[in-house]
Amino acid sequence: MDKERFDISLEDLQTFLAVADQGSFSRAAERLALSQPSISNRVKRLEEKLNVRLLERTTRKVELTQHGRRLHERASITLRALRDLLQEFHAETGMRRRQVEVAATMMIASVALAPILGSFAEAHPDISVRLRDRIPDAAVAEVLDGECDMAVMVLERSNPALAFEPLLADRCVAVTPLGHPLLQKGSATFAEVLRYSILSPDGHVALRRAIEEAAAARGLDITLSAPARGVTNVMTLLAMAAAGLGVCIHPSTLIPAEFRPTIGLVEIEDCEILRTIGIVTATGRNLSGPAMRFREHLRRAVHMAYPDAPEVRRMQTQPSSPAG
């Protein structure tokens, strides 16, 4: 079978419609800002392609033939729909240019980013930021695929396809129920914390590894709380700590304000377990103007929230180092 071909020019079709609507070659030429010979040539070319006569020309007026009326009726609908579709595309493109897609792991999205999104919206009402809460692997995949402009997260493994800008090295604390013995001093050694079963889900691979490495360096044993092994939601983990099912070692800044009245927080005196939160982008891919403005706002917001934190200043001197 012959391949289907559509070899009719949209310009020729548009010109025919202009002549039909105006009832005149000269008025169609004025409407399209073309010469009258150009108008005539386009209509003639269209008639030759279709092998039918579309217009009856007289010295005083132009009338549609039967074929011309059929083409005018259907082509008008088609070109109007195409014009509307193109306008939709342009509008969507303009919207995307003013939209920033940000992925973040759940606790960072709900605890840290929510107020930052609010302040950014006040400062930049013309830019829309869409936040996606994702597991780490999904956040990374969406940055690599270009679905997201950036991710705000702890990057567990370095990847040459990703650029990582550290924002904050978040120190972990021990989360206990109210009235727990560890709260009597307000701080505790790592050995004292590990006397209790630790709420550490199997899915928190990097944090579990950091805890295990810190324990091994001090010759300490860890008892993992069985009920927490399959937990994926950090809110559930904090609720388990509040219920006395174990002690949770968790980044201090990522504890929601509503949880704080129900739990105790214990500083670990002799062990610094850090979770480095930063901005993840695709290597070599330029950010849009709105995305760059959001990134700058994010930097300022973190600096203002933790102006005296030594971890922040230390991490800012290493802008290209990956998080562990």
- For 253-285, the pLDDT digits (tens) are 888 888 899 999 999 999 999 888 999 999 999
Residue 42, domain CATH: 1.10.10.10
Report if residue 2 sits inside a domain: no
In this structure, the answer to whether residues 172 and 279 fall within a common structural domain is yes
Among residues 60, 95, 130, which one ends one of the domains? 95
Give the span between the Cα atoms of 35 and 217, in whole angstroms. Answer: 86
In this structure, the answer to whether residues 180 and 83 fall within a common structural domain is no
CA 46 to chain centre: 47
In this structure, the answer to whether residues 154 and 208 fall within a common structural domain is yes
CA 131 to chain centre: 6
Report if residue 297 sits inside a domain: yes
In this structure, are residues 28 and 17 in contact, taking their beta carbons and an 8 Å threshold? no
For strands 162-177 and 263-268, give the pairing.
antiparallel
pLDDT top residue among 308 and 82? 82
In this structure, the answer to whether residues 250 and 317 fall within a common structural domain is yes
In this structure, the answer to whether residues 252 and 152 fall within a common structural domain is yes
In this structure, the answer to whether residues 91 and 113 fall within a common structural domain is no
Among residues 33, 62, 95, which one ends one of the domains? 95
In this structure, the answer to whether residues 57 and 135 fall within a common structural domain is no
Predicted pLDDT of residue 321: 34
In this structure, the answer to whether residues 48 and 66 fall within a common structural domain is yes
Does the pLDDT value for residue 58 go beyond 80?
no
Predicted pLDDT of residue 187: 93
Residue located via tokens 């050694």: 189
85: Cβ–Cβ under 8 A, 6 or more apart, which residues? none
Predicted pLDDT of residue 315: 35
Among residues 64, 95, 126, which one ends one of the domains? 95
Three-class SS of 91-104: HHHHHHHCEEEEEE
Give the range of the structural domain holding residue 15, as residue numbers without chain letter: 10-95
Q: In this predicted structure, which of 168-172, 268-272, 313-317 has the lowest mean pLDDT?
A: 313-317
Instruction: Please count the structural domains in the chain.
Output: 2
Report if residue 4 sits inside a domain: no
Residue located via tokens 């595309």: 89
Give the range with max mean pLDDT: 19-28, 52-61, 94-103, 176-185: 176-185
Report if residue 299 sits inside a domain: yes
In this structure, the answer to whether residues 59 and 150 fall within a common structural domain is no
In this structure, the answer to whether residues 87 and 111 fall within a common structural domain is no
Residue 236, domain CATH: 3.40.190.290
What pTM does this model have? 0.63
In this structure, the answer to whether residues 151 and 234 fall within a common structural domain is yes
Provide the pLDDT confidence category of residue 94 given band limits of 50, 70 and 90. Answer: low
Other C-beta atoms lying within 10 Å of the C-beta of residue 68: 22
The region, left, alpha or beta by phi > 0 then psi within -120 to 50, assigned to residue 51 is left
In this structure, the answer to whether residues 113 and 91 fall within a common structural domain is no
